Structure formats: structure tokens, C-alpha cells
Amino acid sequence: MKFFVYHTPELAPANVLPDCAIVVDVLRATTTIATALNAGAEAVQVFSDIDSLMQTSDKWPADKRIRVGERGGAKVEGFDLGNSPLSCTPEFVTDKRLFMTTTNGTRSLERVQASPVVLTAAFINRRAVVDYLLAENPETVWVLGSGWEGSFSLEDTACAGAVAQNLLNEIGHPIDDCAGNDEVFAAIALYSQWQNKLFELLNHASHGQRLLRLGCYEDLQYCAQTDILDVLPMQKEPGVLVKSDIKK
């Protein structure tokens, strides 16, 4: 297995795709996706464009859809939800499809949606992603951070490092045997420094500060937890993520 980390979708190589792509947007898209699917949502369908989301979701029964929209950390006017994972309770999302557009994470998912396997990872479901990689052993793996409007974000690279470190510990091979680029080393180093104080890291992150200004303190607390959900979001068709039924 060759493991690559890219801080943003813009930094991933053009005209090539991995055997397995893992998209990370800790604050908050991939945390919300895992939470919604764990709570019983039928699927999460992602869009980078609001108009496309509206056109597609209009064809869905109103009582079976939830429109999730975020720009700049704030809820899009007229949508049912912003991008808070804490809103995705079983009472609200069970058997419904979430139609989601966010500032960063949905763009990353579109970048790799043609890959043979597309997963999403956050701190809260890190172990489920690692278990899949151990079981399936794809030849090439990309962990694609979402960043913030094209720039690096602390929390996504730290999560990539969390996946890489846990995976390498389980495999038992030297990092040099598996690392496909220097970013893997950087991601592991970042995670290693902050693994016991992830909430503090999220508070330092520029998007974490943005969310705190919007009053999302409890969101940051939730997003900083590790391995609390045994759920593996997997793309079943372009842009549509479901809870994987693969037995690890």
C-alpha cells in the first residue's frame, strides 16, 4: 500500500486517481456525514453548487429530504440545516436523504468522485476507516484534506496524520515503506504533537476560530473526539454517500 496525503484538493495530481480516496473535512462536513449516516440517514448527496442541489432535491419527496447548506461557516438562507453534526439526530434524519453543500468538503468529494472507492473520514470515525484499509489493502490511498478555500487547514492534516499513524502502527511496516509523499510525514508529526489535545488544536485552527465566533463551541468539542462512531461513509454512486455494510 502506498499512502499519500494532500492538504487540499488543488494539490492533488491532475489526471490520475487512487484506488481508494479518503476525503477529510473535520470542520465540519465529514464529521456531519458520519454522524448523519450513523443516526439513520438514508444517504448524503453532496454538491459544490447550490443551484444544482436545489434542482436535484426538488425531485425528492419533501418529507424525505433535508437540505444542508453552509457558506463561510454559516447556514445558507432557506436551508433546513447548516453544517452542524449535532443537528443530525435520529429523530430528524432517520430514513431521509441529506442534500449537502459546504464551502470546502463537497468540493473535495467532487475532485475524487471518479475513484473506484471513495470514503470520508473525520476524527470521530477514524478507526472505521483504518479497519477498512487493513481489510481491503488498496494499492494506492489518498487522504485528501479540504482546507479552507484552497489553503491548508490544521485540523484536516492532523486527521490525515491520525489515519496514517494508526494504520502504520497496525501494519507494522516502517513509514518509508508506505509513505508516498512528504506530506505523510508532516501529517503524522502534526497529529503526534496534538493527539492528546485535539480540542485545543481546533481552537487554534483558523476555521475553528471562525466557528467559535459563530457560537459553535459544542461543535468543536464534538469534532475533536476520536473513534466514537463505528461508521464508514462510502460513495455508492457519484456524489452519494451511504453507510457501508462491509464487514470489517
Q: Which of 83, 139, 144, 149 is nearest to 111 (CA)?
A: 144
d(CA 208, CA 146): 14
Reported as a single tens digit per residue, the pLDDT across 45-87 is 999 899 999 999 999 999 999 999 999 888 999 999 999 999 9
The CA distances from residue 233 to 48, 107, 222, in Å, are: 18, 17, 18
The predicted structure's pLDDT at residue 192: 98
Stretch 130-138: mean pLDDT, rounded? 97
pLDDT at 27 over 90: yes
Residue that is written with C-alpha cell 472507492 in the block: 117
Secondary structure (3-state) at 111: helix
pLDDT at 89 over 70: yes
**Which top CATH class is 2-235?**
alpha beta
What's the pLDDT band for 217 if we cut at 50, 70, 90? Answer: very high
pLDDT at 247 over 90: no
Stretch 194-200: mean pLDDT, rounded? 98
Stretch 159-186: mean pLDDT, rounded? 96
> For all residues of the chain together, what is the average pLDDT?
95
Residue that is written with C-alpha cell 480540542 in the block: 199
Q: How is the chain split into domains, by residue range?
A: 2-235
**Amino acid type, 75:** K
The alpha-helical segments, DSSP class H, found in the chain are: 29-38, 50-57, 90-93, 105-111, 126-136, 154-171, 175-178, 182-194, 198-204, 206-213, 217-223
* Contacts for 179 with CB less than 8 Å, ≥ 6 apart: 2, 3, 164, 185
pLDDT at 248 over 60: no
d(CA 149, CA 127): 28
d(CA 153, CA 147): 5
The predicted structure's pLDDT at residue 88: 97
DSSP single-letter state for residue 76: P
d(CA 102, CA 200): 24
d(CA 69, CA 48): 10
C-alpha cell at 39: 443516526
Reported as a single tens digit per residue, the pLDDT across 28-45 is 999 999 999 999 999 999
C-alpha cell at 94: 432517520
The predicted structure's pLDDT at residue 73: 84
The predicted structure's pLDDT at residue 84: 94
The predicted structure's pLDDT at residue 104: 82
